[in-house]
Amino acid sequence: MKILVIQQKMIGDVLVSSLLCNNLRKAYPNAQIDYMVYKSTLPVLEGNTSIDNLILFEKKHRKSKFKFFKLIFDIRKEKYDLVIDAYSKLESWLTVLFSNATTKISYKKFGRTFLYTHNVPLCDEPKSNIGLAIEKRLSLLSPLNLDTKIEVVPSLLVTDEERKTATKIFNDYKLDTTKKTVMVSIVGSRINKTYPLNYMAKVIDFIGTKVDVNILFNYIPSQLELAKKVYNYCSEEIKKNIYFDLLGKNLREFIIIMDACDFIIGNDGGAINMSKALNKPSFIIFSPWIEKRFWSTFEDGKLNDSVHLLDYQPKLIEGKTKKQLKNQSIELYQHFKPTYFKSKLLKFIDYNLTKEQQSIPTDFEKVYAQHKEFPLSAVIITYNEEEHIEKCLASLVGVADEIIVVDSFSTDKTEQICTKYNVNFIKHNFEGYIEQKNFAIQQAKYNYILSLDGDEALSEKLKKSIKSIKIHWDHDGYYSNRLNNYCGTWIKHSGWYPDKKIRLFKKGSGEWKGINPHDSYTLKKGKKIGTLDGDIHHWIHKDYQELLDKVENFSTIASKAYYQLGIKSTYFKILFRPTWAFFYSYILRFGILNGKIGYRICKQKFRITLLKYQKLYRLWHQSS
């Protein structure tokens, strides 16, 4: 079997995509596995025994169409059985097109699916702390259904001889080897990925003030003047611990120097990715325009941590396109003050100086396999729901990865029942249905939310539908039908069915709105919405007395909400609105087909509307 993996990109991408080669080697030990990369990235692949041949894409292939097509036809001659395109750009499309491979795998992107036999959907959110950059690459293995244990951590191999070279370099520079050594990535690959130089100097001062360590600067010769500026901004006391000129002569020498350091701090980029592949703790300062969810790999708040302007000044980031953020990144950087994350940085340093060297977890079963589905938070609001809450919680088993119950200080057995399940039970004063539900969302740990009331539960068909969505999210929110139960009878008329509701959604995609007690989750403009199969079962009233009690309570809440919004009541509304509500439900929405129960439901609609406008009328006249 002959396999080609394509990743024509920079160091971090090539290193991460080498995981494909490593896992393919485990699955197909006798296969020929070739890797197509840029020549400049070769040092990060030295010693990788999973790769048989490196196919180099060089500048000449970009400058000359003749040489480019010669390379493509040389690849065609190899007669590969499998091609995995992790690059998915014009250059790789042509390579795949002419490769004549039996199996061709890449990401599902508009206008190019015809090139591949398998198009893997792109995910928007990471499923675990492995990070989206790695998860995306590993997803390209899914069509192969490999039965081997998957490696999730890229690795850089450093030989014993190279470690001796690092020791010699340190000795030549008279570095104090009795102290810990910190590498600081002071300059990014471009100016809009470079934390302001004066701010970076303050970060270095924080480090030097906190602990007595050797400090190495990471920069390339073309960035020398920028590096000097950072050095000059540093305090005189801290400069004594900075080894400004201790640089590798080439990328490979830089790698072995990094391997001799204890941890790395600084701008996101290839250096950080290499440090993680060397199992070195890292603290990343992300540029405002870089999406942290892609490259905050293996983040656990201890061995690996990161900060982004979004963490501290979300209003400066939210609502802007990536292009806008990129154009404004230098200006936005000025708002990203070092004092924001000083305590977080010092906590990271303290942990990694006092703890023995630890490794990134590599057990696929624990780290990745359990997150083949996107984790889901179920949030429930309750008040005295002892009759229904167990049905609600039981329906979430196997669907939700965490369950949060926000309770308005129930006086019945609601809390006691919740203790039977693995529930985060939070007591919170009730300010309104809308306010309570928005509060509940903010308590969720995961980015995907299922919101229910305590008297609702998922049907088996809906549970199955949600599980299928968890594997891959295509939309920002999903409608589901709600089937209401009145006094033991499921009602499919009177305007009560399908009663479509958005209850499954991505955090931040919208918010609960409406006029209490009638609420609805409203997506922001431009968000995509889908539909789920199955129903939410909703138990409304167990008997006629409970119905009367809720009519009284709900009409009071609604009249107050209308009053606060400035909506007024008139004699005409008191007479006309209830009559129209009854006619609409009983005649136009076929409540008559439900017989006696249908009449009661429509009569309830009449009464609650009447009471609402009567109470609203009194509120206005009491205030005048």
Q: Are strands 423-427 and 402-407 parallel, antiparallel or unpaired?
A: parallel
Condensed to tens digits (0 to 9), the pLDDT of residues 131-172 reads 888 889 999 999 999 888 888 888 899 999 999 999 999 999
Please check whether residue 154 lies inside any domain of the structure: no
* Residue 359 located in a structural domain: no
Q: Can you tell me the mean pLDDT for 235-252?
A: 92
Kindly state whether residues 69 and 180 are assigned to the same domain: no
Please tell me whether residues 531 and 550 are part of one structural domain: no
- pLDDT > 60? residue 33: yes
* Same domain, yes or no: 477 and 586: no
Q: Is the pLDDT of residue 262 over 70?
A: yes
What pLDDT score was predicted for residue 437? 93
Residues 6 and 50 in one domain: yes
Q: Which of 331, 457, 444, 447 is nearest to 389 (CA)?
A: 457
Last residue of a domain, one of 480, 506, 541: 541
Residue 91 domain-assigned (yes or no) = yes
The predicted pLDDT at position 364 comes to: 45
- Structural domain includes residue 480: yes
pLDDT (0 to 100) of residue 590: 75
Which CATH number goes with the domain that contains 491? 3.90.550.10
Q: Which residue has the higher pLDDT, 124 or 119?
A: 119
Residue carrying the six token digits 């995961």: 446
Is residue 298 over pLDDT 50?
yes
Query: Which DSSP helix (H) or strand (E) runs through 540?
Result: strand 529-541
The residue ranking higher by pLDDT, 188 or 364, is 188
| Domain's final residue, options 486, 506, 541 | 541
Q: Do the beta carbons of residue 473 and residue 409 sit within 8 Å? A: no
pLDDT at residue 363, rounded to an integer = 53
User: Cβ neighbours of residue 315 under 8 Å, at least 6 residues apart?
Assistant: none
Which has more pLDDT, 540 or 72? 72
Number of domains in the chain: 4
Last residue of a domain, one of 541, 559, 575: 541
Query: How many degrees, rounded to 5, is the angle at CA 129 between CA 466 and CA 252?
Result: 140
- pLDDT at residue 370 in the model: 47
> Per-residue pLDDT tens for 337-358?
999 999 899 989 988 887 665 6
Q: Give the model confidence (pLDDT) of 558-610 as tens digits.
A: 788 788 878 888 888 888 888 888 888 878 777 778 777 777 777 887 888 88
In a domain, 127, yes or no: yes
326 to 106, 318, 331: CA distances (angstroms) = 27, 13, 10
Residue 361 lies in a domain: no
Whether 153 and 234 have beta carbons less than 8 Å apart is answered as: no
If asked whether residues 337 and 223 sit together in one domain, one would say: yes
Highest mean pLDDT, choosing among 302-306, 410-414, 447-451, 568-572: 410-414
Least confident of 279-288, 381-390, 459-468, 517-526: 517-526
304 with 218, same domain: the answer is yes
Give ∠ CA 611-574-436 in degrees, rounded to 5: 45
pLDDT tens figures, 374-397: 788 999 999 999 999 999 999 999
For 58-102, the pLDDT digits (tens) are 989 988 999 999 999 999 999 999 999 999 888 899 999 999 899
Boundaries of domain holding 531: 373-541
Residues 240 and 338 placed together within one structural domain of the fold: yes
pLDDT band of 617, cuts 50, 70, 90: confident
pLDDT (average), residues 22-34: 96
Q: Mapped to the 3 state alphabet, what secondary structure does 148-210 carry?
A: CCCCCCCCCCCCHHHHHHHHHHHHHCCCCCCCCEEEEECCCCCHHHCCCHHHHHHHHHHHHHH
* Residues 216 and 232 reside in one and the same domain: yes
Please check whether residue 410 lies inside any domain of the structure.
yes
Q: What is the mean pLDDT of the chain?
A: 88
Residue 363 in domain:
no
Residues 228 and 343 in one domain: yes
Same domain for 443 and 576, yes or no, is: no
Are 477 and 608 in a shared domain? no
Same domain, 304 and 384: no
For residue 323, pLDDT over 80 is answered with: yes
Q: CATH code at 316?
A: 3.40.50.2000
